[in-house]
Structures are given as C-alpha cells and as structure tokens.
Structure 1
Amino acid sequence: MPATENQSQFMLTLNITSYTNNSSKPWTEPTFTVAARVRVIVTFCFFFMAACSNLAVLYSVTKKRRKSHIRILILSLTIADLMITFIVMPLDAIWNTTVQWYAGDMACKVLNFLKLFAMYSSALVLVVISLDRHSAILNPFSFAGASHRNKIMLSIAWVTSVLLASPQLFIFRLHTVKNENFTQCVTYGSFKKHWQETVYNMFTFTTLYITPLTVMMICYARILWEISKQMKDDKKNSGEAALARSKSDHFSKARMKTLKMTIVIVASFIVCWTPYYLLGLWYWFQPGMIQKTPEYVNHTLFLFGLLHTCSDPIIYGLYTPSFREDMMMC
C-alpha cells in the first residue's frame, strides 16, 4: 500500500474503481473496524512517547553551549521526527477514526503534502548524517569544513523534500461516491491510466526509500571497510607509531561513539520501515491482495514504521551522556 495513503482511502479507491466499472456491484463503505481502533490507540500512545522524547532532545541540543558540527544534524533529525509526530501520527489516527474526510479539499491537499514532506525530510536527513560520517571516517582532515558542508547538504535535503512532496498538492482531491453520503480524500481521477499512478508510486517509493537506503548502505559499507583496513594496519604498526596515535585517541573514541550512534539510528530506520514499504510495493502490483490480506497486517507494519520516530531519542540518549544529565536536571 502506498506510504501516502491510509487503508480506508486505498480501499475506497479500489471500491470506486470496481463500482464504476461494474455498476451492478453493490457499494461497500469502509468502516471503523476493531483493528483500526487498536491502530488509533497505539498511534496516540506513540504520539505521546515521540512528542515527549523528541522535545526533550530538542531542548538538550539547543541548550548546548559547545558547538559541534554533529549538533545541527541531530537538530534536523529531531525536527523531522517532530514533524512526523505532530503531522503524520495525528492525521493517521483521526483519519482512521472518521474513516471518511470531513476537512475540505484544501486540507486534503495540504495535509497529504505535509505528511509526505515529513517522511521525505526524515529519510533525507538520515542520508546527510550518513554522508557526514562517511566523510569524517574516510577523510578525517576535512573536519574543518564539516559544519559548512553539513549546512549545505541539509539545505538541499529540506528543499528536495518540499519539491518531491509537492505533487501531493495536485493529485489529492475530494471524491464523493455517487448516490452515497461518503466523501474521501483520494488520488482517484488524477491519473488517466492506471500505469501512470503506478509510475508515480514507484517514483515515490524509489526516492523515499530505495535511494536513501542505497546511499546509507554504501556509506556505512565503505566506513566499515575502512575501519577494518585500519585495524589490520594497526597490528602491523610498531610501538612508536602506536604512541603517536595515542595523542589523538580521545578524538578517535568520540568519533567512533558518534559513528555507532548514527549506525544504530539508520539501522532502526531500515528495520522499522522496510516491512511496510515492501507490503506497499506488493499492493501496487497486486492491488486486489489488500482485500485478501488480514487487516491487522497493514496496521501492524505501519505502526512498526512509526516506532522509528520513538526510537531515535532513545538511541541519542544512550550515546549522549549530556542528554541524560539534562534530563536529570529537569
């Protein structure tokens, strides 16, 4: 199922298509099922967890007196997570509760744009973090220009997120089922041919998940390769060389700690969102399967994806003693 749609919306599109192509077939209206109720309850629980923890990270990062080029990266990731927390989570919970759309055509377009913008920004900021760690490990002498470089990359990431999410403003619209008192915010009618919608969904899937995943995996694969190579070289070095390296030991440990933190954050993103995106890919090519797949499967995988937004602050806290100190002082 597309990451830009919830289940009732996707089911409505299938029902409308079937109803239009075969007018003798009775209209089936989506309902607020037990599985959807559980999804809403869990989503609100995640909302409170993510809001409190990410706001705590935001407070800790912004109050730090010592400037660090990694700070702006964590700040951007926290802002992206807060956007998912305050846009994606409430929108999904309320939409699943009401089943149909009551907020009007403009809200239909803008909220779906903001939803995808939040998801793009989260993924692309993780790409910037991966590129920063790649540069820090493979080109340690480029440390001096890291802050300026990160600001440029983050600017590109945020602008790109806006551009990639902007089609949502044009393809989403209100649709009222003929002779039925049911209105939904859908993409139905925006594409003349089914293959055009498939191409758009595949483009979104590629830019939202496949491309960021590929860049992150290449970065960390090269990082791990470089670390492995350095460890092998260390064994061959003489005691004199080891003594010289000890002078920069503190910096190396700090750099490695940051690397471990970012690897865990990226791994969390991959583990949490991969099942849901793979399910969406399956639905795009086999749309009829959504009616055969148990409803709780889609709900569970989407909630598992949202868990990433809750896990980022926890990971940051585990690897950042100053954050724990800030929380104890509150």
Structure 2
Amino acid sequence: QSPSGSSLNSCSIPGNISTASSPGVNFSGVLILLVYLIVCVVGLVGNSLVIYVVLSHSVSKSVTTVYIFNLALADELFMLGLPFLAVQYALSYWPFGSFMCRLVMAVDAINQFTSIFCLTVMSVDRYLAVVHPWKSSKWRTAGVAKVVSTTVWVLSSVVVLPVVVFSKVPRRMSTCQIQWPEPVSVWSAGFIIYTATLGFFGPLLVICLCYLLIVVKVRSSSRKVRVLSSKRKRSERRVTRMVVAVVTVFVLCWLPFYVLNIISVVCPSPVEPSLFGVYFLAVVLPYANSCANPIIYGFLSYRFKQGFRRAILRPSRRVQDQEVVVCIEYPGSLKGSSPMCMLV
C-alpha cells in the first residue's frame, strides 16, 4: 500500500494504490515529489500574501476578511504537511517516526475540515448580508466573526479525533496511515462516510441552500424599490461573487476525491495500476485548491489586488525612496568651509 495523500485519504484511495514493491526511490515517487513541492511552494507564497495583506491593514477588517484570513491560515497549515507526504511518496516509506506521523495527519485533517467549515460560514454570512441586511447588521461584526472562527477551529479539532487516535506507522508497512481496529473494513467504511458527510456533503448542502435563498431574494426584489444604495449593492455583489467563486473551486477540487472514496466503499476492489493517475489527481487536487484561493482574491477583489501589489512592490519602493547624502571635502579647501554634498 502506498502512503496517503492526506490524513483522510489514508483509509481509502491512496491506501489501495501501489507505488513500489519495496522501500526506495522510484520514478513515479520522484514525479509526485516534484508536483507536491510545486503545489506547496505556490500555496505557501499565495496564502502568506493573503495573511500579510490582512494583518498589515491593507484591506478593511470586515466580516468576510476575518473568514478569509482563517481560510488562508488553514490553507497555509495544510500546505506545511505536503513536504512530509511528498518524501513518503518518493521513498515509499515514512522516515519521520510515529510522533510526526500522528502530528502531520492531525494537522492535515484539522485544516481540511476548517476550510470547508469556513466556506460554510462565509456562505451563511452572504445569506444574512443579502437576504436580511438590517436584521443581521448587529451580528455581522468583526468581533462576532472572530468568535465564530475560533469555534470553527475547535469544532474541527474535535471532528478529527479519530485521526489523532488511530494514526500510526505499522511495522509491516512502514508508511504513515490510519490503522483501524478489527473489523478494518467496517471502521474504514464508517470513517469514509463520516468524513464525507461532515467534511463535504453536509456543508455543501448548507452552502447550496444559502445561495438558493439568495437567488430567490434577488429575483423577488429586483422589481421593488431598492433600499440599499447602489454603491452598497455593488460592494455586496462583488463580495458574493468572490465567495461563490471560492466555493465553486473548492467543490470542483474536492468532489472527485469524495466520489472515489464512496465508490471504494460501495465497490471495494484493488485499484488497477493503469488508473493510478486518476487517483493521484483526485488526491492532489484538494491541495491545489489551497493555491487557487489567493488567485481568486486577486482577480475578484480590488482591495486584495491592491494589497498584493503593495506587498510585492514595497521592497523595491523602499530602495527607490531612500536618499543617500554623499559629502566630499576637497584637499586644500579653506578651514571652516563646508564640504560639497549631493543626493544619490
């Protein structure tokens, strides 16, 4: 069995893919290593920019910004586990010990759930902002958003307790994965259903319901007198468009993974080597999703675009703005006379 692509994968898709018959470096493992490292670098740089822009007050501390910050933080931590998993793929065994196995798997799983929970909360916030703008105004504050975000992190930590308890490095396999007790098939299937329900399909149902109600509200009020100012409406529309884009990309990246996991429960059978590319794509797409969010912010949010631009160009501007004064005192000049100075 191959190493897992993420903590929630170890009991399903990757667990059935054979990458090497014995520990050692193999071509497919090296290719996977390169793909993972590229995704890791892009994801770390992009989400670090988002976090920097938010913390440097380049964008306003709105409710949506608080949720975006937590989503970027989850994506950032999600990326930090990739180098460990990439090395495992390349070597076909886990060289970091049992403690690091449990830590990496737990952090990986926590941030996986935190991402979808943040998107769910953002969708509910969009529903309140569009459908109940006045009634929800006292609840839609940055302070409340911080409390909700903290609750999301705590809830994610509780949901992934099975990963913390059962993650280990079996002696016979020497790979980091979830080691279920007997009967293994029942535990594994139950965990897949558990994670698919709480980590994807359940939140997705809430998200779809929120945007369905938003569409109904927008259509029903399109012919009525507009209470909000046109500027306020344009702002809300832009934020909603950005959140919809983030949710859509998330679904496209995670849906293949969960579908294949459910198929593995309904029709448990060994994976054909020829399908390895399909299964690897289903594993790597969720990680690639963490790279996509900063790009979406840059394209759809003017404030984030400006913040990214300032963050990237600031070092060069500092160099340009520095004024160096050079003073030259010529030999033979009179005592007490001032040296010749100039700016360079």
How far has the Cα of 1:292 moved from its partner? Answer: 5.6
Query: What aligned pairs does 1:132-151 form with structure 2 within 5 A after superposition?
Result: 132-141=125-134, 142-147=136-141, 148-151=143-146
Give, in whole Å, the separation in 1 of the partners of 2:22 and 2:89.
Answer: 13
Partner residue in 2 for 1:238:
none
- Asked if structure 2 preserves the Cα contact closer than 8 Å seen for 1:109 and 1:169, the reply is yes
Q: 1:287 to 1:29 in 2, by over 3 A?
A: farther
Call closer, same or farther: CA 1:257–1:322 in 2, change over 3 Å. Answer: same
**Matched residue type, 1:223:** I
Shift of 1:169: 1.7
Alignment of structure 1 residues 182-201 onto 2, 5 Å: 183-201=174-192
- Distance of aligned partners of 1:30 and 1:8 in 2 relative to their CA distance in 1, 3 Å threshold: farther
- Return the index of the structure with the highest Cα Rg: 2
Unaligned runs of 5+ in 2: 315-344
Could you give the per-residue CA deviations for residues 269-290 of structure 1, whole angstroms, max 9, x where no partner exists? 0011101211122123333242
Match of 2:209 in 1: 218
Kindly tell me: are residues 32 and 210 of structure 1, through their superposed partners in 2, closer, same or farther at Cα, counting changes over 3 Å? farther
SS in 2 for 1:288: coil
**Distance between the aligned counterparts of 1:7 and 1:296, measured in 2?**
16
Q: Is the 8 A contact 2:117 2:152 kept in 1?
A: yes
SS of aligned partner of 2:95: coil
1:260: how far off? 0.4
> For residue 150 of structure 1, what is the amino acid of its counterpart?
A
Answering whether residue 166 of structure 2 is matched by residue 175 of structure 1, we say no
Matched, 1:297 2:302: no
Contact 1:9 1:184 in 2 (8 A): no
Change (3 A) 1:36 1:298: farther
Match of 1:19 in 2: none
Shift of 1:28: 4.9
Contact map agreement 2:29 2:92 (CA 8 A) in 1 = no
1:189 positional shift: 4.8
Aligned residue among 73, 76, 79 for 2:70? 76
Shift of 1:210: 1.1
- The verdict on how the C-alpha distance between 1:204 and 1:198 changes in structure 2, with shifts beyond 3 A counting, is same
> What's 2:89 paired with?
96
Q: Percent identity among equivalent residues?
A: 19
Equivalent-residue separation in structure 1 for 2:104 and 2:91 (angstroms): 15
Distance in 2 between residues matched to 1:70 and 1:205, nearest whole Å = 26
Report Cα offsets for 1:183-211 as digits up to 9, x if no partner. 22333352435213211221112111111
Q: Confirm whether residue 317 of structure 1 aligns to residue 283 of structure 2.
A: no
Please say if residues 35 and 296 of structure 1, whose CA atoms lie closer than 8 Å, have aligned partners that are also in contact: no
Q: 1:30 offset after TM fit, Å?
A: 6.8
Q: Distance in 1 between matches of 2:13 and 2:87?
A: 12
Counterpart position of 1:37: 30
Q: Secondary structure at the match of 1:122?
A: helix
Q: Where does residue 3 of structure 1 map in the other structure? A: 8
Do the aligned residues in 2 keep the contact of 1:36 with 1:299 (CA within 8 Å)? no
Q: What's the TM-score once normalised by structure 2's chain length? A: 0.80
RMSD after superposition: 2.6
With over 3 angstroms needed to count, the CA separation of the structure-2 counterparts of 1:175 and 1:317, relative to structure 1, is same
The runs of 5 or more residues in structure 1 that have no matched partner are: 15-26, 235-240
Letter in 2 for 1:321: Y
Letter of the 1:55 counterpart: S
Which structure carries more helix by proportion? 1
